[in-house]
Structure 1
Amino acid sequence: MPESDSRGEAYEAEHVHAVYEQIAAHFSSTRYKPWPIVSSFLSTLPAGSIGLDVGCGNGKYLALNPSIYTLASDRSTNLAKIAASHQPHSAIVADNLALPHPLKTFDFAISIAVVHHLSTVERRREAVGEILAMLREGGRALVYVWALEQKGSRRGWDKGGEQDVMVPWVMKGPKQEKPAKRRGKGERTFQRYYHLYRKGELEEDVVAAGGTVVESGYEKDNWWAIATPREAEVSTA
């Protein structure tokens, strides 16, 4: 693993973006069950709410609440194409650090299992800040990241362990392009970069990014936080 100052855009291009472009279809086939907190957040939004799904993957959350409209985006062209099938919602290709939307416009935003793919603390905080900047006064964002504290999971990660890790994705099928490595006959392994968040770290990133944490918690190997832009919090006082 390189030193943190050698990570950044090029590092993520190789160890995150290039991987998801190649595994998109297989990844999508395994992502269909909504997470409870995400479902609750989206299901309780007022009818007519308009929001963002930043790093939408295959768009599995787009059709969860038919009374709201979501504009989804993903850095992966192949995943965005899959997500675009969830009509009437839209899906575009966009970078989390440069969202092409008007500021202070949306009622809500979700970013599920995305920010942990940014490879430095500065870039992770910038990503959170970009999401918060999209929200109108009173808008809220739900952000999920993988937790370091996963002692009970099959991965066995726990507090005190390495936070910057490579996580394998094994895919059977015809030979793929790099950065995969041959594992067995017709099987390929791709390595994806993750930053595993320790307890309290996501809240720290939200505050550093100019947000206020409304609610936060832990759900099955993930830390989550609901946040609002700090300006919005002050203006409603």
Structure 2
Amino acid sequence: MKEPLADTLELSEADKEEQYVHAVYNEIATHFSDTRFKPWPVIERYLRALPIGSLGADVGCGNGKYLGVRTGDIFMMGTDRSESLVDICQQRSYECLVSDGLDLPYREGAFDFAISIAVIHHFSSEERRRAAIKELLRIIRPGGTVLVFVWALEQNGRRKFSESTQDVLVPWVIPAGSKNQPTGEDRIYHRYYHLFREGELPALFEQVGGCAIEEVGYDRDNWYVTARKEL
């Protein structure tokens, strides 16, 4: 499931993410969206437990799967770095805009909660991953919560990774003969991931500070953390 990162060693962190994350998701957006439709239970539980009237941000919202979990009694805004995925969200009438997760277009304390699902593992250095968590905490009010999911190095499902490296390129295949690739051969794209070891995600929250970790868990080959911003 992984490719060597030798050809990325000369790239800057931002260029690596541009080539192996941003550009890829713009290319695969429609096919990717077709595979993302059912909310994961832990995330749905978190969203359904929020008080009526809560205002939240989905940072790295993809096709808007979680923006539609509670449309009647809470309000969510989405951001994603992929213009193509934001287009899909807007076609579904979700409030969504293009934005980098390291520089969100929101004032400090604007939201009651924020989620970031399968996003922070795409940042290519510890400093940038820490900055992404800091930005999530910046945009929520004191007492608000954030929920973050990242891919785990320790995989129990169909994906298996070597313990020798946490930084991998993971292929995304659009099969020949599918509606997204009706002719020719399979199209293969490679996405950069940093695979998180057990304890690594809560350690980043502790390094950022200003919050209390309320829950740490493992679900669907992901580590997740729920944290509350200090009053």
Which residue number corresponds to residue 45 of structure 2?
Answer: 40
Q: Distance in 1 between matches of 2:46 and 2:202?
A: 18
Shift, 1:212, TM fit = 2.4
Which residue number corresponds to residue 161 of structure 2?
Answer: 157
Shift, 1:102, TM fit = 0.8
Which residue number corresponds to residue 187 of structure 1?
Answer: 186
Match of 2:149, SS state, is strand
Q: Equivalent residues in 2 for 1:119-130 (5 A)?
A: 119-130=124-135
Contact 1:146–1:196, Cα closer than 8 Å, also in 2: yes
RMSD of aligned C-alpha atoms? Answer: 1.8
- CA shift in 2, pair 1:215/1:81, >3 Å: same
Q: Distance in 1 between matches of 2:170 and 2:143?
A: 37
- For structure 1, which segment, 212-221 or 140-149, has the greater mean C-alpha deviation from structure 2 after superposition? 212-221
Alignment partner of 1:169 out of 143, 162, 172 = 172
Counterpart amino acid of residue 198 in structure 2? K
Counterpart amino acid of residue 77 in structure 1? E
Contact 1:7–1:119, Cα closer than 8 Å, also in 2: no
Counterpart amino acid of residue 94 in structure 1? S
Which residue number corresponds to residue 198 of structure 1?
Answer: 197
If the length of structure 1 is used for normalisation, what is the TM-score? 0.87
> Which 5+ residue runs of structure 1 have no aligned equivalent?
175-183
Q: Equivalent residues in 2 for 1:10-89 (5 A)?
A: 10-66=15-71, 67-87=73-93, 89=94
Q: Distance in 1 between matches of 2:76 and 2:168?
A: 32
Q: Distance in 2 between matches of 1:220 and 1:188?
A: 26
If the length of structure 2 is used for normalisation, what is the TM-score? 0.89
Match of 1:84, SS state, is helix
Would you identify which runs of 4 or more consecutive aligned residues in structure 1 move more than 6 Å?
none
User: What per-residue deviation string (whole Å, max 9, x for no partner) do you get for residues 152-181 of structure 1?
Assistant: 3222226x331000100001359xxxxxxx
> Which 5+ residue runs of structure 2 have no aligned equivalent?
178-182
User: What per-residue deviation string (whole Å, max 9, x for no partner) do you get for residues 194-234 of structure 1?
Assistant: 000000000011111223211110001000000123xx2xx
User: What per-residue deviation string (whole Å, max 9, x for no partner) do you get for residues 56-100 of structure 1?
Assistant: 00000111012110010000001011112343x410000000000
Which residue number corresponds to residue 180 of structure 2?
Answer: none
Shift, 1:5, TM fit = 8.8
Contact 1:51–1:70, Cα closer than 8 Å, also in 2: yes
